[in-house]
Structure 1
């Protein structure tokens, strides 16, 4: 009897191994499920996995929440879940951990589903002028100084300062503007005093001492640097959330034009802008919108964050979108699909228009990432006018099936008809409209 039992167990074990090997390619599809996914309350979980019957018939799913208990799905229930015929409905906000098993024994994949309250936003598309001040001044170049004896030198370079460094303090006092720093150097130079600079280089902060030199050419005391304290440009508003008055724009971080360094935000604002001309994009040469800031615009807000997902802040007045007369729901990443979509942007003056695009790729992401979408412009009029995606179009909202799904961020330099987009959920998480459960996820034990 023991021999028979051992034979049965051995046979079952061999069957499991052989079946797993034979179905390895199909099972790989389960591994493409992101380890984290957001879901709005009441929406079905759309996994849309077209798996063979051999896998589906032997698939089991455990769902566990520390607040709402456990659910075990097998057979038809599991099949309906992955085939999206009768997906389980998550009717309460919370965090749910799902575990996929084959034959109830072989673990295949785990994922965390974060169920969040429904969020509706006003889609943007308006052109905006962006004015940003950095924390300190940014070193954007160096220049040798010719002293009264005709000798060339650069004391800042000798002290180890490089392009991209941020000067935060001079003699212990915060530096806020480039003019403030020039005046300080002039004043201390006249007194024959050295200056102590506090420098930030990426995440490292250090101090260095420099003695200003009188420049024969400019008739001022200098240390040999070109500096800048601000950045300005034209972009596109992405969304506005009426209850909190929060907005998001651009979809990517603002960097200094000369150093490509991320600007540490001190303060800033956005105002309305009017597009006066378009320089079309070509292969290897990105195009751009040419706009002017409108000081009398009703669209005005502060900038409180400059992040990899764009700039964020609060608008002083509510805004409307002339194409959509009501707010749109958010499409979370699991609801975004390859296929037709639209972008909202301005090509002339301040008129928002809708243009056709195709979402060519949706990348499952378990961590915040600004390139979750690959898009292609298909609208003939937009292609004729711009050649595709141009600078100033960053932040243009992407709409699919009357839902806000993300924003345009970058253009493919060698193919301006294509570009990247950021998923809406990452922008809303950055704005604090969706809980940051990805970075603060609790460890749940599956029973």
Structure 2
């Protein structure tokens, strides 16, 4: 065979392999749902997207170079604890429009002012807005004075200004702006790791998005709290299960939340965290070190007891740049399958351990196969926890 023909055949084979890869990963059986923050359905819900095709990586990075470690020196305590999560948004999030009754019909002043669902109200008439309670006095004053409100919005990365005229609702005897708004969110998830010396931690393994807008929540601050699993709704094909858990507000707060990124929530612990399985630190394994085969996860299925369960790493993609879905995993532990049916909502963040190294966290369940789902590689969570730098990670990979 001539050299030219060899090149042509090589090109054809490569093209066919690429097509097969794409068709495999857009198979309907791989549509997934987030596996955390689902215990409070008025705040969060799952939303299906296609795997491996995430074009928006909006991770927050901070410049703490002096506090970063070399990869070979990183050791963390694996988590597994069930945690409650409470978030406060930056400004007030617009989650819907509603119609205000007038004498001549109905109207939504907010919609007329071109305020969109997903926008964040950050200022009104030059006054910063931190909570929903900040808005009503301004609305009342503007309505009585028959003056338009000057509103500053954050839409994505841009700031927009608009004017809104409140309308008097005779039935409720109050001025209205025709917007549904929210300034807090709550739910449950799982701790992935923490670093004992600094108290830095990572949890969940994926971003927390608002139930109504489906957009990542831009947080002002937040808390993680001790949580106790009270019941489990078993998963089935087409219907992901979920953990049901309870937690108190600030009484059992164990740390703050400073980041909500594509790779989870991050902050610093304020109290010691008990661990029934491990109290020593573990090294971490980067994506190119993860092997197909047996592994374990740590999670809670009853009360606050952390337990170890068998899984299988079905596939792992060595990654030189950040991506949220690096592993396909399958639950193989008979007891966990009997209790939960596989991966359930609230299990997000459960650490994955292989060969005595922390390799990542559970993040999503496949809706059509609750025994399987995705995991995120640990290095991307370590970056967002400000434990390692991205350039160090890329050099090692």
**TM-score, structure 1 normalization:** 0.72
Residue 86 of structure 2 corresponds to: 131
- How many residue pairs get matched? 342
Residue 393 of structure 1 corresponds to: 347
Q: Which moved more, 1:271-280 or 1:173-182?
A: 173-182
1:55-74 aligned within 5 A = none
Q: Structure 1 residue 270 and structure 2 residue 196: aligned?
A: no
Shift of 1:179: 1.8
Is the Cα–Cα contact under 8 Å of residues 344 and 365 in structure 2 kept in the other structure? yes
Counterpart among 116, 126, 129 of residue 71 in structure 2: 116
Residue 379 of structure 1 corresponds to: 333
Q: CA RMSD in A?
A: 2.7
1:140 aligned counterpart, secondary structure: strand
What do residues 92-145 of structure 1 show as CA deviations (whole Å, max 9, x unaligned)? xxxxxxxxxxxxxxxxxxxxxx97332111110001110001111111111100
Using a 3 Å threshold, how does the CA distance of structure 1 residues 301 and 401 change in structure 2: closer, same or farther?
A: same
Give, in whole Å, the separation in 2 of the partners of 1:124 and 1:183. 44
1:437 aligned counterpart, secondary structure: helix
Q: Structure 1 residue 185 and structure 2 residue 139: aligned?
A: yes
Shift of 1:223: 0.9
Give, in whole Å, the separation in 2 of the partners of 1:197 and 1:296. 33
Using a 3 Å threshold, how does the CA distance of structure 1 residues 418 and 22 change in structure 2: closer, same or farther?
A: same
1:301 aligned counterpart, secondary structure: strand
Residue 270 of structure 2 corresponds to: 316
1:174-323 aligned within 5 A = 174-295=128-249, 300-323=254-277
Using a 3 Å threshold, how does the CA distance of structure 1 residues 20 and 432 change in structure 2: closer, same or farther?
A: farther
2:391 aligned counterpart, secondary structure: coil
Shift of 1:320: 3.8
Counterpart among 324, 327, 331 of residue 370 in structure 1: 324
What do residues 244-286 of structure 1 show as CA deviations (whole Å, max 9, x unaligned)? 1100000011111111111111111111111111111122222
Shift of 1:23: 11
Unpaired runs of 5+ residues, structure 1, are 1-13, 33-113, 442-447
Is the Cα–Cα contact under 8 Å of residues 301 and 313 in structure 1 kept in the other structure? yes
Is the Cα–Cα contact under 8 Å of residues 223 and 253 in structure 2 kept in the other structure? no
What do residues 119-172 of structure 1 show as CA deviations (whole Å, max 9, x unaligned)? 11111000111000111111111110012x252111111111121111111112
Give, in whole Å, the separation in 2 of the partners of 1:426 and 1:350. 27
Give, in whole Å, the separation in 2 of the partners of 1:288 and 1:423. 23
Is the Cα–Cα contact under 8 Å of residues 390 and 416 in structure 1 kept in the other structure? yes
Give, in whole Å, the separation in 2 of the partners of 1:180 and 1:249. 31
1:20-39 aligned within 5 A = none
Q: Relative contact order (alpha carbons < 8 A, sep ≥ 6): 1 or 2 greater?
A: 2
**TM-score, structure 2 normalization:** 0.80
Give, in whole Å, the separation in 1 of the partners of 2:209 and 2:307. 28
Using a 3 Å threshold, how does the CA distance of structure 1 residues 296 and 187 change in structure 2: closer, same or farther?
A: closer
Shift of 1:287: 1.4
Give, in whole Å, the separation in 1 of the partners of 2:332 and 2:141. 59
Give, in whole Å, the separation in 1 of the partners of 2:81 and 2:393. 32
Give, in whole Å, the separation in 1 of the partners of 2:88 and 2:250. 21
